[in-house]
Structure 1
Amino acid sequence: MGKKTAVLFKCHNWDAVIQRSYERCKKYSNKSDFYILYDNSRGTVEIPEHIQEVENIFLAPYSEVESLGLAWGTEIGNYGGYWYNGDYHQNLFILNHNEYDYICSIENDVAVLNDLDSIFDDMAARNIDAVYKHVEAENHAWAHSGSCEGYYDLSQHVHKGLFCISFFSRRAALLILKRRLEMSFLKREKGLLTWPIGEAVMSHEVISAGMRTEELAHYCDSLRQYDWAPVYLEKEIVNGAEKTFIHPVTEMNEKFIVSNLVQDYHCMISEEEISNGLSRHRSRKINDLEVYSRLFHCPRIYNNPVLREDAVDDARELLTGIDFDLASEGMSPDLTQALTQVYSEFPERVFASLPSYERSHSMFFDHGVALPISLGGSGAYTLVLAARDPDLTSHFDVKGKDVASSFEVMPVSFLLQKGELRFYAVNFPAECTEFVVEQKGPHGFWLNFIKILPTTDALRALSTS
């Protein structure tokens, strides 16, 4: 009798990126039963109806976990839920479906580019009970070691792993569930405030029981894009010729920005990634104005004139449309006198080649303050302003002046939004030689970016839209 295998695609919401991750996952698991394990604790299921009609949907609200008597996290710090207890989805599943000899548990932000069925075949042939990425860090160097206090002897090595995608035999999955129930009893009996994270439990219990494990990398050409961070975009996925898994993969969102351009862990602003050219390679592949801009303004790039210019060159080479206009060289009026009227600790950042997203780099216009600018050149031009303020246009007027007339208020048009910044544009005719940005509200306002551009066809279209 042949082995019976199941692939468990875990999620708690649904979007276009998750849909494509689901499609890739299913493509590489043709011989296994496929399940979508969905956390519907919020009372909703976002999986499209046409998918629900054809797929096995295993609903896993967290109330089902609690009904088993399983503890969920710590009372201090409020860690818990499915993120912290990465084994809980499969614990619920194996209780309801113990007919499966092997299961693969996969998070929805994993890009699967490897045959899952062949890994099941190897596990059965070699009597392997668990496959995952082993973490070799010593206890003192692992951030979650403290969570194991009271359950494991921390004077001895605690086995650890990364389980974004992992494979278990039935006996290994049942052992993990059994030990979690025992730990839950121990936690209540002794009043323990700690609770071991799943990344320790799933590895340590299986190895301590003498079961055989295998490294996930054994089945891959590489795992260079598989870790808890940084986040990758789909356009960064390597071509399908390489057998691998990529994690985490998401859309361009706050999680991506924080992971790559704020958090300093193997990310685009990390010293090693900048030095070896990986940051520049990734930014060119992503080809997004906000990414170029944030990379340009990070200290390790901005303080190096060569690297700073590389970021600008890449943006001007690869961007198109309005994004290209915003990255282009622009016009350079003399701002020495004008800047004395406004406050900015880093005025050069506000007028830089690419916009800065840092709050500390913004320029403050106090009540009644104006920024007058004269242009010596000729030809139609466009003023671009950017800020976080969603109601920015109610705080200022832009007035233009030609040779023969006094200043007149010019219309301000919304240009686009890139992340936290909203961009606005004012088109001036060729006859206009001066303009002023004038604060008009009861309070001051902040600008992150100012650029004067020769008017392109795309920018000119603003005046007629």
Structure 2
Amino acid sequence: MVRTPKYAILFRTHVWDSFVERQFLRLRSMIGNGDLFIVANNTTGKCRIPDNFPVVIFHEADFRDQGLEFGVKVNPMWYNVDYALYFFADRYDKYDYYILFEYDVRGNINFDRLMENICRDGSDLVGLTSKDIFREWYFYRSCSDLYRERDLTKTFLQIGIFSRRAVSLLYQRRLALSEQFRSGSLKYWPHCEAFIPIETRLAGYHYTELSKYLDVRRYSHEPAYLEEDTHILLENEVVHPVLDRERYIASTIRYEGRPEKFFVPKSIFGKRLRRFPVSTYIFPLFLALWHRIRMLPAGIMGKVFH
């Protein structure tokens, strides 16, 4: 009989409000023998979490103290999502597996059964490989000088499951690359969604697709799903990103490259926004339209709505 490994779930966030708290409580209801922690980036000092919740707080400066480089100046914790993992595991090293779980994920998961299956398979990393063409990825350049073309891959890690030895491997590799980056011998800093699966595979460790264990049909980076639309999930289904109303509206507008589609009859974009009161989306929609107009070449305005 396969035992349930000791596992910790790291509920990752940089904000705290009623929506994030609801997400945390939903996650807590699914956990059997594992331990759940909030792992929060409080660099801004604005992420205030109730005292009765188990929380590990970090600041960006903590990673400098560990000898880790960021490689980027903007959103370093988003670019290096694995750093929260190293920070936590350095303090809690008793677990067989560590699960990164972003605050905008919602699932219907039996975690004990999931971790028993992963332990049975001997998996070191579980994630979902992106089907996008790697060369068309915005961060392709961050990896192309460091890794061979045949090794390049990208993995969604809104849920990422790591064995203890995988955490140790990746941490040591980040430290080694940090030394190279400081010396100038490494010019580009690899994005975490490529660094993690590539380094794991190059070490000969066992990678397994998340789709082997969970229903991932609605698990990607967009489109977003409204919180109330996901109140009933299938068994083992996981959804991302799940957002409250304000975040959903902002995400819907941000990912629409042609916001003028709002005025096109029966457009999906317009339908998504019109389910809400006009007052909730008119200002961000106006800003998106204004930005779109400013980006258009002169003389093309007449073609915008065609």
> TM-score band (shorter)?
0.7 to 0.9
Pair 1:213 & 2:141 matched? no
Shift of 1:73: 2.0
CA RMSD of aligned residues (A): 3.0
Pair 1:263 & 2:255 matched? yes
- CA distance in 2 between counterparts of 1:130 and 1:359 reads 41
Task: Indicate conservation of the 8 Å contact 2:4/2:112, yes or no.
Answer: no
Shift of 1:146: 0.7
Amino acid at match of 1:252: R
1:66 aligned partner? 64
Amino acid at match of 1:185: E
- CA distance in 2 between counterparts of 1:189 and 1:150 reads 16
Pair 1:358 & 2:301 matched? no
Q: Greater shift after overlay, 175-184 or 188-197? A: 188-197
1:13 aligned partner? 15
SS of 1:8's partner is strand
Task: Indicate conservation of the 8 Å contact 2:11/2:37, yes or no.
Answer: yes
Shift of the 2–235 alpha-carbon distance from structure 1 to 2, 3 Å rule, reads closer
1:223 aligned partner? 216
SS of 1:89's partner is helix
Pairing partner for 2:165 from 155, 171, 174: 171
Amino acid at match of 2:41: D
Task: Indicate conservation of the 8 Å contact 1:151/1:183, yes or no.
Answer: no
Task: Indicate conservation of the 8 Å contact 2:30/2:110, yes or no.
Answer: yes
Shift of 1:138: 3.9
| Percent of residue pairs identical | 26
Shift of the 361–111 alpha-carbon distance from structure 1 to 2, 3 Å rule, reads closer
Shift of 1:122: 0.8
- CA distance in 2 between counterparts of 1:174 and 1:123 reads 18
1:112 aligned partner? 107
Shift of the 156–237 alpha-carbon distance from structure 1 to 2, 3 Å rule, reads same
Task: Indicate conservation of the 8 Å contact 2:151/2:198, yes or no.
Answer: no
Pairing partner for 2:196 from 192, 202, 225: 202
Shift of 1:45: 4.4
SS of 2:81's partner is coil
Give a deviation string over 1:10-68, Cα, whole Å, max 9, x none: 112211110111011111112101111111222354112xxx23x33212211211101
- CA distance in 1 between counterparts of 2:205 and 2:253 reads 40
Pair 1:160 & 2:154 matched? yes
Structure with larger Rg: 1
1:102 aligned partner? 97
- CA distance in 1 between counterparts of 2:155 and 2:249 reads 26
Give the gaps of 5 or more residues in structure 1: 270-293, 327-353, 363-465
Shift of 1:218: 1.6
Give a deviation string over 1:157-196, Cα, whole Å, max 9, x none: 3122010011110001111111100110111122544211
Shift of the 239–105 alpha-carbon distance from structure 1 to 2, 3 Å rule, reads same
Shift of 1:96: 1.6
- CA distance in 2 between counterparts of 1:259 and 1:124 reads 36
Shift of 1:236: 1.8
- CA distance in 1 between counterparts of 2:195 and 2:137 reads 14
Give a deviation string over 1:312-350, Cα, whole Å, max 9, x none: 9x96xx88xxx59x9xxxxxxxxxxxxxxxxxxxxxxxx
Task: Indicate conservation of the 8 Å contact 1:73/1:80, yes or no.
Answer: no
- CA distance in 1 between counterparts of 2:39 and 2:147 reads 30
Pairing partner for 1:86 from 64, 67, 81: 81
- CA distance in 1 between counterparts of 2:264 and 2:18 reads 38
Shift of 1:238: 5.1
Shift of 1:94: 1.3
SS of 1:223's partner is strand
Amino acid at match of 1:236: D
- CA distance in 1 between counterparts of 2:282 and 2:128 reads 39
Task: Indicate conservation of the 8 Å contact 1:139/1:157, yes or no.
Answer: no
Shift of 1:224: 2.7
1:427 aligned partner? none
Give the gaps of 5 or more residues in structure 2: 291-306
Shift of the 63–239 alpha-carbon distance from structure 1 to 2, 3 Å rule, reads same
Task: Indicate conservation of the 8 Å contact 1:6/1:32, yes or no.
Answer: yes
Amino acid at match of 1:247: H
Shift of the 241–64 alpha-carbon distance from structure 1 to 2, 3 Å rule, reads same
The number of aligned residues is: 283
Shift of 1:126: 1.3
SS of 2:232's partner is coil
2:45 aligned partner? 43
Shift of the 238–181 alpha-carbon distance from structure 1 to 2, 3 Å rule, reads same
2:28 aligned partner? 26
SS of 1:147's partner is helix
Task: Indicate conservation of the 8 Å contact 2:134/2:154, yes or no.
Answer: no
Structure with the higher fraction of residues in helix conformation? 2
User: Any runs of at least 4 consecutive aligned residues in structure 1 with deviations exceeding 3 A, and if so which?
Assistant: 136-139, 301-304, 354-362
SS of 2:165's partner is helix
